[in-house]
Chains A and B, each alone.
Chain A
Amino acid sequence: MIVRLLGVGALVAAAAVFPAVAGAYPVKLLQEILVWGVFAMSLDLLLGYAGMVSFGHSAFFGIGGYVAALALKQSPHALSALVLPALVAALAALVIGFFSIRVSGVYFIMLTLAFSQMFYAYAFQVAWLGAEDGIIGVPRPRLLGLDLANRTVFHLYLVVLVALAALVLWRVVRSPFGHVLRGIQENEGRMEAVGYAVQRYKLLAFVIAGTVAGVAGSLYTQFVGSITPDAFFWTTSGEALLMVIIGGTGTLWGAVLGAAAFILLQSLVSSYTERWMLILGLTFILFVLFAPGGIVGALRGRVGRRA
């Protein structure tokens, strides 16, 4: 336990001081990994713990991103950057979840996908969201007197927030509520039979995941400085699913590893060939066939099961 805690602490510290030893491009890659890592972790709460395969998680990423963009343009404060995106994403998750959790399996996949595509279609068309160009030139917020336009400050802010999001999710999956989710994933019918109002737990999980995804979307807007309708597109959900599956479902940190693998592979391969998607697809197929537990599963297989 202590070894683990030290390990995690060292990892966070390493991420924090990374800009001191690395150039601008690697730092950008790391930041991209961190943002997508949060998004993938929030999806893992649904996929890996509650057994809910959502194909519409981009809805909350996009909502967080757009709300942050609109709000930061009005006033560049922490409220605009974090609180508002999280709240709106939570509300959206409550509404979408309310309808989606009534069905399961393929129907749940289709329904969540449909909801996210509705947002895409809307954002793509309306002028107040910048239509297909999205919203550009979003300023970074000022937080506790710190100017996040400063590159070092922004990096530290990102690392701290990502660590916080990871900590929150880590607590949630280990809590009594998290154990209920695992029970639902394992055997929903029996959970119902022993007295759990399964729908309520699923809805709460959906809202938590949506909220964290909203924060990830907001961080994305702050990181890039703009947001486009692509944030809502189904490929955003699909990429997050790939990250979670490549990394290993039901582990949280697998989602971050998956995000790292995905983004590094993408940047590495795309500098050699235009067909990086082909390589990525092949990697994914190999993982599913030979390492169904993802990167984490493969690592655990090597060092022996610990948890």
Chain B
Amino acid sequence: MTLASPVLLIEGLTRYFGALSALNGVSLMIAPRERRAIIGPNGAGKTTLFNLITGHLAPSTGRIRFDGAPITGLPPHAVARRGISRSFQRTNLFPKLSMLENLRLAAAADGRGSYDLFGSIERYRAPLDRARAVAESVGLLGRLEEVAGRLSYGEQRQLEVGVALATSPKLLLLDEPTAGMSPEETQRMTRMLEGLPREVTLLIIEHDMDVVSSLADRVTVLHYGEVLAEGTFDEVKADPRVYEVYLGGAG
């Protein structure tokens, strides 16, 4: 596909829940700097795919390689430490902590300073600076001291992406970042994601086709746990099977 070796290489990934297969033999190859959208109807296995990549679920069979090394079966924190970060479909923040602290905790994740028992937070400039930079890029710089639980829904969604971004990942997985957002908020989020540095490879689950078309280099369509189609947005859109199972229903 491209000259560079893939950042993420998934081979024959399968996950059963009892007798039901949520994901069935999915293979994926994501190139460095690529922005890939995963689309598909509800229950297609999109979030399960994310959970398998990040170690929140163990695959029944199949392999996952990140940056050339196997990560199959690693616990979530170890996957995160290798440079994969994710945002969640349902907002998953530290509601009683300030916005700055939400971002700082992510930026400082498991770093040298985290085991410092007697020092002060201010002693570690890098996580604080990173937190502020991320707050700016997700458009929340004005509300650093606000408690996360008191932010508006749209702001919480922005912060949700911000927390994932603050860990400085090589690969960012976004699970429906615009879910439940107003059209204006969705636009703002899309612009923010477009503005992310290209070094961050992006894998995004998204239902909003405007977001997908403006953001994704390539699109993978999942259906009943299998890859139904893959290609550019226009190629996928023109695929009659995709039209039938997904786009047709959405209009």
- Asked if residues B110 and A195 are in contact (CB atoms below 8 Å), the reply is yes
When chains A and B are docked, how far (Å) is the Cα of A191 from the Cα of B81? 12
Return the contact of A175 from the options B77, B95, B96, B119 (Cβ within 8 A). Answer: B119
User: In the complex, are the beta carbons of A183 and B97 less than 8 A apart?
Assistant: yes
Q: Which residues of B contact A183 (CB under 8 A)?
A: 94, 97, 105
Q: Which of B160-216 contact A (CB under 8 A)?
A: 163-164, 166-167
A300 at the interface (CB under 8 A from B): no
- Which positions 149-195 of chain A face chain B at CB distance < 8 Å? 171-172, 174-180, 182-183, 186-187, 189-195
Q: Is A284 an interface residue (CB 8 A)?
A: no
Which A residues touch B110, using CB under 8 A? 195-197
- CB–CB A176/B77 < 8 A: no
Q: Kindly supply a per-residue 1/0 record for chain B positions 99-120, scoring 1 wherever the CB is within 8 Å of any chain A CB and 0 otherwise.
A: 0010011101110011111111
Distance (whole angstroms) from the CB of A229 to the closest CB of chain B:
33
How far, in whole Å, are A192 and B84 apart by their CA atoms in the complex?
12
A136 at the interface (CB under 8 A from B): no
**Nearest Cβ in chain A — how far from B174, in angstroms?**
13
Q: Report A-chain residues with C-beta under 8 Å of the C-beta of B56.
A: 193
The reply on B130 being an interface residue by CB < 8 A is no
**Cβ contacts under 8 Å, B97 to chain A:** 182-183, 186
CB distance from A90 to the nearest CB of B (A): 14
Decide yes or no: A196 and B93 within 8 Å by CB, A177-B116, A179-B101, A180-B114 being known contacts. no
Indicate if the CB atoms of A175 and B118 lie closer than 8 Å: yes
Assess whether B77 is in contact with A189, with CB atoms less than 8 Å apart: no
B79 to chain A: closest CB distance in Å? Answer: 8
Q: Chain B contacts of A197 at CB under 8 A?
A: 77-78, 110
Out of A177, A182, A196, name the residue touching B117 (CB < 8 Å): A177
Which residue of chain A has the shortest Cβ distance to B97 in the bound complex?
A186
Whether A193 touches B80, Cβ cut-off 8 Å, given contacts A172-B118, A175-B116, is yes
What B residues does A177 contact at CB under 8 A? 114-117
A198 at the binding interface (Cβ < 8 Å): yes
**Does A194 lie within 8 Å of B167, measured CB to CB?**
yes
Residue of B nearest to A200 (CB): B115
Confirm or deny: B156 has a beta carbon within 8 angstroms of a beta carbon on chain A.
Answer: no
> B-side interface residues toward A, CB under 8 Å?
54, 56, 75-78, 80-81, 85-86, 88, 92-97, 101, 104-106, 108-110, 113-121, 123-124, 163-164, 166-167
Residues of chain A touching chain B, judged by Cβ–Cβ distance below 8 Å, are 171-172, 174-180, 182-183, 186-187, 189-198, 201, 204, 208
Can you list 23 A-B pairs, Cβ within 8 angstroms, ordered by A?
A172-B117, A175-B118, A176-B108, A176-B116, A176-B119, A179-B104, A179-B121, A182-B97, A186-B94, A189-B92, A190-B163, A192-B77, A193-B54, A193-B56, A193-B80, A193-B85, A193-B88, A194-B85, A194-B163, A195-B81, A197-B78, A198-B77, A208-B117
Known: A186-B96, A194-B166. 9 other contacts (CB 8 A): A174-B121, A175-B116, A176-B124, A187-B92, A190-B94, A191-B105, A192-B75, A193-B85, A196-B110
